[in-house]
Amino acid sequence: MQLQSSKNDFSSLGEARVQHIRRKSISVLAAGQILGGLGSGATLTLGSLLIVSISGLDSLAGMAATMNTLGAAVMAIPLALMAQKHGRRVSLSSGALLAVSGIVVIVSAAILSFWPLLMLGMLVLGTGSAMNLQSRFAATDLSSKTTRGRDLSVVVWSTTIGAVIGPNLFEPGEVVAQYLDLPVFTGGFLIAMVAQLAGALVYFLGLRPDPLRVAQYRASAQSKVGQLHRRGWNILRNTPMARRAVLTVALSHMYMVAMMSMTPIHMQHHGAELTLIGFTISMHVAGMYALSPVFGWLTDKLGARPIILLGQVLLISASVLVWVNPSDHTMTTIALLCLGLGWSASTVAGSTMISGAVEVSERPQLQGTSDLCMSLAGVIGGLSAGPILAAVDFEGLAVALLALAIIMIGLNLRATGTETIRA
């Protein structure tokens, strides 16, 4: 048995010690998320600029985010399998190191002026995004039913710090690039590489004892029946609660990406200055992360379903505000704030539901499958939003997205209420 070698380490752990490990793990995960957010905040925008600079093709600008998201999707399940076999410590630190290797490929591609290699580097860098997604689930490994939402949301919230600071490192990064005689737009990637290396070290040294290994041992010791080990897709087919939660998270993410990615173009077409566009996106990001602890606390108090429904109401509000007056920039900014808040409520509550849908032995598999679906939904939302915008304008896109909210409301209203939330 995989956990046999750990029994001597974990068998003497009392409840007080387990809670100490839980709190310590959340602090370590939050620190790692800050560093990971710093890396992603500094690289996604620079990736678009670097691709255009090397290829000379404006049409490839969006491929930086697309390849990064695809990389996150590709690596979601492998990282989850690694966590299930070796624990969060190995999985998260390995994910950070793989992200570093992606940055090495990106800088090499810039030196060689070879944009297909740059695409490959962005794909590998997406491992960092997959790792960041897994971190929020890692926060729930030792949580109880009454703390799971709050623990998860604290780690989600910590992403805000790195995401806000990251874009402000563009100019210092360029100073570093000039000093090292590297191509333009590569300095930010070097800063991101240092951040990811620091994150790998934080995870590797800080997650001792490993929270998932402790949770697995406790579940094994308390269980009187054999542990289940179904694959993620099998869990989705046979567990309605898991299926509903994963669909909620994925479709909410698709809704958010589709509307958010087209907002700058819409505002530009209506004469908005870049400063106002930037402020609108900043308000959106604030909505995504700033109140996540509130939604986590509400999820613990009221249950996941009411908070998911609240999230859908906020997403619908965003569409309605845009549809009522698409040319009003103030209305658009409020709509993007609602969009971020709706995404936050739905994602925090949905992710909390995912962690409680199955036993500890199956959580990494289900969580990895959820992250895969979430990333692929983001890719579909981003790729489809452009053609829809061209066909029916921004307000048409906003109204079309209401179908996703209706699906999610239907899924959660049809829930029987007899499903068991695991401890």
What does the pLDDT read at residue 228?
57
Across residues 401-418, what is the average pLDDT?
Answer: 83
Dihedral sign (CA 150, 339, 71, 205) = negative
Stronger pLDDT, 200 or 231, i.e. the higher one: 200
- In this structure, are residues 173 and 188 in contact, taking their beta carbons and an 8 Å threshold? yes
| Rounded distance between C-alpha atoms, residue 98 and residue 125, angstroms | 7
- CA neighbor of 60 nearest in space, from 102, 109, 118, 129: 118
- CA neighbor of 402 nearest in space, from 251, 294, 277, 249: 251
- CA neighbor of 213 nearest in space, from 84, 76, 29, 364: 84
What does the pLDDT read at residue 411?
86
Residue bearing tokens 């990811």: 196
Lowest mean pLDDT among 56-70, 113-127, 203-217, 234-248: 56-70
Reply yes or no on whether the pLDDT at 252 is more than 70. Answer: yes
pLDDT digits (tens, 9 = 90+) for 295-334: 999 999 999 999 999 999 999 999 999 999 888 989 999 9
Residue bearing tokens 């249950």: 303
Q: How many CA atoms lie within 13 A of 49 on its CB side?
A: 15
Which residues lie below 8 Å from residue 37, measured CB to CB, with a gap of 6+?
A: 132, 158, 159, 160, 161, 162, 163, 166
pLDDT digits (tens, 9 = 90+) for 14-73: 888 999 999 999 999 999 988 887 766 666 667 877 888 888 876 676 687 788 889 999
φ, ψ for residue 306, nearest 5 deg: -60, -35
- pLDDT band, residue 226 (cuts 50/70/90): very low
What does the pLDDT read at residue 2?
46
- CA neighbor of 37 nearest in space, from 138, 154, 175, 131: 131
Q: What percent of the chain has pLDDT over 70?
A: 88
| Rounded distance between C-alpha atoms, residue 140 and residue 352, angstroms | 8
Mean pLDDT, the chain, rounded, equals 87
- pLDDT band, residue 255 (cuts 50/70/90): very high
Residue bearing tokens 């995404």: 343
Lowest mean pLDDT among 259-263, 278-282, 367-371, 372-376: 278-282
What does the pLDDT read at residue 223?
60
DSSP state of 419: P
Reply yes or no on whether the pLDDT at 158 is more than 50. Answer: yes
- pLDDT band, residue 98 (cuts 50/70/90): very high
Q: How many CA atoms lie within 13 A of 371 on its CB side?
A: 33
| Rounded distance between C-alpha atoms, residue 405 and residue 388, angstroms | 17
Which residues lie below 8 Å from residue 22, measured CB to CB, with a gap of 6+?
A: 141, 142, 143, 151, 211
